[in-house]
Structure 1
Amino acid sequence: MKRRTKILTATTLAGTLLTGGTALADAGGWWPGPKTVRVMLPEGQSNPAIANGVALGGEVAVYQSSGLGPSALNPSAPEGTPERYTDPSLTEGAEGVTITEAQSLVVLRNIRTNLEAAGVTPADVITMKAYLAKPPGAETADYAGWNRAYRQYFANVDLKSQQVVAVPMGTSAPKPPLLANKARPARATMELASLAVRGWLVEVEVTATYKKR
C-alpha cells in the first residue's frame, strides 16, 4: 500500500501546565515520575497545534482507541460516496467546507463519544494518528481541511492567556470551536491509498490517559 507521510514537529517549551494532571517537561528533568505525563511542546508558541512528544510514567493507565471513521449521516447522498459520511448539521451556515473537513468533524465527534464511554475525554488525549485518503479528483489528501477540523476539537485554548481561540470552518470567519480543549497530542498524519470503508476519507486513532486516583 502506497503511503505518504507528514509528521509535524518542532522544539521544546518548559514549565506550563496543560490539562488534568498533564504537565510539560521542565528543563531540569525530562524523565517522568511513575504517575506523571510529560508533554513536550514547541518553544515560544502560546497556541501550538500539536506536541513534539510525550513521556509516560510506568504507572500511568492509558486507553487506546481503535481507528474510527465517519458515520453515514447524510442520507441524501448516494451510498459509498464521501458525502454520505458527513453530518450537515455540523457544517450548517459555514461556507467552503471541504469534504475531508466535513468527514473529519464527524470522526472527531465519534472519537469524543468513544473516549467518554471509556471514562476519559478529549482533554486526556496524548497521541493521535490520522489517516487520510485523497478526495475524488484530488492529487493529494486534504491536509488543510483535516487541520481545520482538528482545531474544532483540539488545541484551541491559548496556553498563556487561557482564552478560547476562535477557529475557522471552511472559508467562514473564525468562531468559537465545537469543543474548547487545551490538549495538544503528539500527532502523525498520513495519506493512504485507501481506507477500510468505501467513501471514507478520514480515520483516526488516539491514546488517552486516565487521571490520577
Structure 2
Amino acid sequence: MTTGRARPWLATAMALGALAIGYRSRIRPWMYTWGATRAECAEKLPGDELVDPGRPHTTRAVTVDAGPEDVWPWLAQIGEDRGGFYSYSRLERAVGADIHNAEVIHPEWQDLTVGDTVWLARRGGERGRQVVAAVEPKSHLVLMTPADYDRVQRGEPAGGSWSFHLRPEGGLTRLLARGNGGYTGNAVYDIAHFVMERKMLLGIQHRAER
C-alpha cells in the first residue's frame, strides 16, 4: 500500500518519466532534424564514410538566398582564432572561448586543406580543436577530433565528425550541418549543441544574404 509520504515521490517520478518520454519522442527528434527534409536526414553525405556507421547522427539545415560561392567564404573562415562561429559569442566567451564573430570576409582565412586545425577553444588543448578531415570549396567541410583524425589515417573508422555541406538549388543554397557520433545522444550535449549550431546556421545565412 502506498503511504501518504511516498506519494509525492511517486508523483515526481511519474512527472520525470513523462518528461523523459516527451524529450525522446518529440523534442530530440525535432532537434536532430531541425530545418532538414527527410531525404536530407537519410542521405549519405561526404565524410559519413569516415565514421563508425553505428553512431547516431543529426542533420540540420537552412535555405540561404545566395549561391554556394557566396556562402562558402563564411564557412571557410570558422574558428576561434579566425571568423568565429557566428553563434552566441557571449556564451562562448563565458565558457572560456575567445570568440569574435567576423562581419566581413577575410581573404587570409580562406585556404583550408586536409590536416589543418580549426580551433573551438585554445584553452582546451587537444580537446579544444578540430582537424579538417575532408574539404571541397563550395561543397563541404568535414571536421573531427585529432584522435579521430589519427584513426582515419590508420584506416580505422572515426568515432565522430562535424560537417557542413552546400547544395545549390537554383540561385539558392541549402546549408546542411551534420553531426556524426561523438557525444550525440547525451541530452546535455544535444541541447547545448542544438542551440549553438542552429544560431550558427542562421548566422551564416544572415551574413551570406546580406
TM-score for both structures, normalised by structure 2: 0.24
TM-score for both structures, normalised by structure 1: 0.24
**In terms of Rg, which structure is larger?**
2
